[in-house]
Amino acid sequence: MARPTQLTLCSFCGKSHAEVKKLIQGPGVYICDSCIIVCKNVLDKELRAENRKQLPKLNVPKPAEIRRLLDLHCIGQEHAKKTLAVAVHNHYKRVQTEQSNKAETEPDHHAEVEIEKSNILLIGP
C-alpha cells in the first residue's frame, strides 16, 4: 500500500489520513476505517432482512390441536396424549427459535433465553 500524502482524503467522508486511523487505497479511491464500519453495518442489516424473508414461517400448532389429532389415532391414554402434545409443541417452538436466532446476527435480549429440550419414551403396541 502506498503511503498517503497530505492531500489524500477518504472518498466517502472526505476526512484526511491524519484524521483517521487507517486509510485504505483502492484503484483511484480511498476509504477510511470508520467508513468501512458504516458499510459493514449497512450490509449486515440488508443481509438480516434478506434472511428473515427467506425463512419459512413455521405454523406451530397449539397443544390442544395436537391432542385433537392424537385423539383421531389413539384411544384412551389421556395423560400420555397431553404430555406428548405439550412436548411436540415445545419442540416446534425450540426449532423456530433456533432458526430465527441463526438468521439474526444482531444481538437481542431474547438471545440468552433457551428453550429446554425434553425426551419422551413411548412404550407399547
Domain ranges of the chain: 1-54, 59-125
Q: Is 29 helix (H, G, I), strand (E, B) or coil?
A: strand
- pLDDT at residue 45 is higher than 70: yes
Better pLDDT: 10 or 7: 10
- DSSP letter (8 states) at residue 55: S
**Are 43 and 31 contacting, i.e. CB atoms less than 8 angstroms apart?**
no
Amino acid letter, 110: H
- pLDDT at residue 56 is higher than 80: no
pTM (2 d.p.) = 0.49
Residue 123: per-residue pLDDT? 80
**Are 23 and 30 contacting, i.e. CB atoms less than 8 angstroms apart?**
yes
Q: Give the mean pLDDT of 90-103.
A: 77
Q: pLDDT-derived band of residue 116, with 50, 70 and 90 as boundaries?
A: confident
